[in-house]
Structure 1
């Protein structure tokens, strides 16, 4: 068995993304994130960005190599076991996608309740604090179709950082485009890393203001040539 770095949270070893036709696309790459690590990975191709999210969250299997979360290979787990493990991951993605059978506030709180078993009042207080940090007066209440897109985006940020996930994965281009989200996003990332979470931000534009504010351990670029060092653009 391949040895993992001590405290490894996410380990992608010699993986390659699947192409649009289901075959291997691009050069194999490796990425290891430990507790408290923050990495920004620029992926300009939207399909590749979604594919990378799938590998990290165990939603899809790599075309080759291994994808592990907390030392466990996703491919060794059943769909139900994968779902349970994903409860330990916070994700800021698909900000406009919400369960139709739940109000937005219930959807936000549900993930945290599953993850921790905390009393609802405590979870609500934590969510309200995060909502205010992200520029909302409180947690949005009501069905998704009654809430503005800009508010849903901020609620998605609350949903991703709520609780104490072992890993946070961010892949939502709209976050990059809203300048007043830059500071709270950087603060949320720093707080999560300070608690020992690994944070991976899959970003399209390294010139985004938020990327310049984040204190990161690594800045990388993923394309057909593999994973390479990159720099935040001034």
Structure 2
């Protein structure tokens, strides 16, 4: 049995396959997708980086998250969207707030939360914001069917293991050459269709627009074929 899940249990066998979390955009046609991608390419991005999330307590991953909040809050180049503001309302569930922050930033920090993966990773791709990962299990070991095998094509990795978060995120991001930033952002925007879910009421059969479901079905069929051929080879 093959299981499709938004987060694989990495140590429980190879029959689990990670698929993207649903984000906010569900286009019905390839033209809607193309229009969105063009918009993300044209946007001015005044902020170097952004973090969207809330502090955590009582978990090991909280140290990374709290450090990112601290560094973002102290930087004039960072846009911080705290999930819980002083009035107790949550901005994290307001698509306009999330996409506005991400689409105005070059990089989006993706710290692990209660588990390794985050829906925010796919929100950042949707917004054309280059994800910055602090654990390989947030994306690299999860979504092989959807994301490039070479993480450097579309993302930045900063080792977030215990004791390594003395690194100054702003300084690390400023070291990246402008040409590489442009290449990564273009790659991220190119990835949008394959990690997006079409609107469920879409009636158009659009061969040009392969969404996350199309990618999943094709990859699963290939996976099953590999298993079948492997079994035949063993019997021979």
TM-score, normalising length: structure 1: 0.32
Normalized per residue, the structure richer in strand is: 1
- Greater relative contact order (Cα < 8 A, sep 6+): 1
The structure that has the greater radius of gyration is 2
Q: TM-score, normalised by structure 2?
A: 0.32
